[in-house]
Amino acid sequence: MQTQQYINGQWVDGAADAIESYNPATGEVIANVASANEAQVNEAVAAARSALAGEWANLLPVQRAEVLFKIADLIEANAEEFAQLETLDQGQPIGVARQVSVAGAANHFRYFAGFVTKIQGTTNPVSFPDTLHYTKREPVGVNALITPWNFPLMILAWKLAPALATGNTVVIKPSEVTPLTSIKLVEICEQAGVPAGVVNIVTGAGNVGALLSSHMDVDHLSYTGSTPTGKAITHAAADSNLKRLTLELGGKAPSIITSSADIDAAVAGNVGGALLNSGQVCAAYTRFYVDSKVHDEFVEKLAGAASSMNVGPGADENSQLTPVVSEKHLGHVTNLIEAGRSEGAELVTGGKRIDRDGFFVEPTVFTGVSDENTIAKEEIFGPVLSVMQYEGQDGLDEVIARANDTEYGLAAAVWTKDIAESQKIANGLRSGAVFVNMLPIPDMAAPWGGYKQSGWGREMGPQAIECYTETKAVWLHYGS
Ligand code: NAD
């Protein structure tokens, strides 16, 4: 399969050398992904700029909403093809592809379609005589949307749906590792009647993203991916046109299990929260702080549940733990497992690559992990769980401080039946989302984003409208 790019309403080949994309379950090449050169990136940005005026700008809100509803309908009409493609390219279990990735993408378009007719300004009581002051929300303009490889379809929908709802135009740059469903979503936009130039996609590696980051005619860049790349994008934005940035970056979510928790529910929830998509989730639970009274029971049950998961390709409906996305990423995960061992953490289960085709890693649980160990500090983004202990009710302040002792602040979890305890911990955690007794799965109605080095701004929910609009204040003096 040779992929193409979509620029100004035309499907075109890449002008630079194509990149191979692999099936993580077998290691086989499934696609040669087109790669844009600088001229093609410039063409896509110019197309997005000119499409801001004309047909797209002239659609009434109710008509623009209709386009987004149609995209949602078409995602659903093609749901099985999208799900199979996501599993083939990314490796995730087919059930996750259907219920999280594809259903989530359609839901985002429907949610933001509803917003199109509800984007409001304010009238403001300024202290000037005979003056009407009101604000209106206008599209930011040309948006670059750069996405990672872990949930490519759903994360693109987080960005594309609010960008279109607010009347913007976009240039998409999906991850070179998993571009296939993003290209298909652009085909769906074309079928839904999105005018030429409004949605463009350029593909290729990080250098193509870098061309967008430093582009003088991109107004806003929404990026999801690792923190180091987020910093490179921030430098490029500052050194070019100071484009607005929305950054959804890395995470290292703590999960605090108190002695009042329902341990069986906590084990089930933490296995799900840690190992969904083989731990390749920005909000995945990775650092477990367990009250010493329940530590041994929790570790035994956690290791039992993790080690009894069915490991296999995502396309097999029975697989619960599927491969990590690439050979390169597998090396990153196994190196960190090695660091856990060599720094003295106790390996309870797992600990190595599985001897079969594809990029499979055993579900791995460490206990006796110190706060200073590499596996407690660095984002692993794989099926590796690190358990630590704390001492009881009196230790809540201390465990909150330990959970906060990280450069990240995207998500966190608390497992308890005690409401007061849940509030104390939730209030103390410095994190964009705190989940009490549940898995970290986002929802289009709930703002998503991070504290600290997990990012800037919030996507989803009404907050996404702010990301993709400028506020214009109009002052109208009607006195003499
Ligand atoms: P990555 O940083 O390697 O790449 C992300 C995207 O940036 C890709 O499209 C890549 O081609 C592009 N890119 C690379 N270098 C670039 C540059 N210099 N300028 C512009 N673009 C560039 O990230 P990844 O490995 O694809 O994704 C995993 C990371 O994403 C993890 O850190 C994870 O936590 C994070 N993530 C965060 C969220 C969130 O909501 N906060 C969600 C999912 C993933």
Compute the distance between CA of residue 427 and CA of residue 424 in angstroms, rounded to an integer.
Answer: 5
Of the residues 182, 207, 282, which should be mutated to test ligand 1's pocket, given the most ligand atoms within 8 Å of the CB?
Answer: 282
Global pTM reads 0.98
Q: Verify whether ligand 1 is closer than 6 Å to residue 326 (CB atom).
A: no
In what order do the strands lie in the sheet containing 199-201?
10-12, 5-7, 199-201, 169-173, 142-146, 220-224, 244-248, 455-456
Percent of the chain with pLDDT over 70: 100
Q: Do 287 and 220 sit in the same domain of this protein?
A: no
Q: Do 212 and 224 sit in the same domain of this protein?
A: yes
φ and ψ of 213, to 5 deg:
-65, -35
| CA 225 to centroid of ligand 1, rounded, Å | 2
pLDDT at residue number 203: 98
| CA 147 to centroid of ligand 1, rounded, Å | 6
Question: Where does the pLDDT of residue 348 fall: very low under 50, low under 70, confident under 90, or very high at 90 and above?
Answer: very high
Query: What would the pLDDT profile of 424-445 be if each residue is shown by its tens digit?
Result: 999 999 999 999 999 998 999 9
Residue 444 belongs to a domain: no
| CA 203 to centroid of ligand 1, rounded, Å | 14
Q: Do 197 and 340 sit in the same domain of this protein?
A: no
Question: Where does the pLDDT of residue 342 fall: very low under 50, low under 70, confident under 90, or very high at 90 and above?
Answer: very high
Q: Do 403 and 294 sit in the same domain of this protein?
A: yes
Q: Do 299 and 314 sit in the same domain of this protein?
A: yes
Atom of ligand 1 nearest to the CA of 329: 25
Q: Do 371 and 264 sit in the same domain of this protein?
A: yes
Q: Do 195 and 292 sit in the same domain of this protein?
A: no
Q: Is the confidence at residue 392, as pLDDT, over 90?
A: no
Question: Where does the pLDDT of residue 2 fall: very low under 50, low under 70, confident under 90, or very high at 90 and above?
Answer: confident
State both tokens at 262: 């329902």
Atom of ligand 1 nearest to the CA of 228: 2
248 among known catalytic residues:
yes
Residue 144 belongs to a domain: yes
pLDDT at residue number 412: 98
Question: Where does the pLDDT of residue 161 fall: very low under 50, low under 70, confident under 90, or very high at 90 and above?
Answer: very high
Q: Which residues form the domain of 147?
A: 5-249+450-475
Residue 480 belongs to a domain: no
Q: What CATH number is attached to the domain comprising 430?
A: 3.40.309.10
Compute the distance between CA of residue 109 and CA of residue 162 in angstroms, rounded to an integer.
Answer: 8
**Residues 447/248, Cβ–Cβ less than 8 Å:** no
pLDDT at residue number 115: 97
Q: Verify whether ligand 1 is closer than 6 Å to residue 225 (CB atom).
A: yes
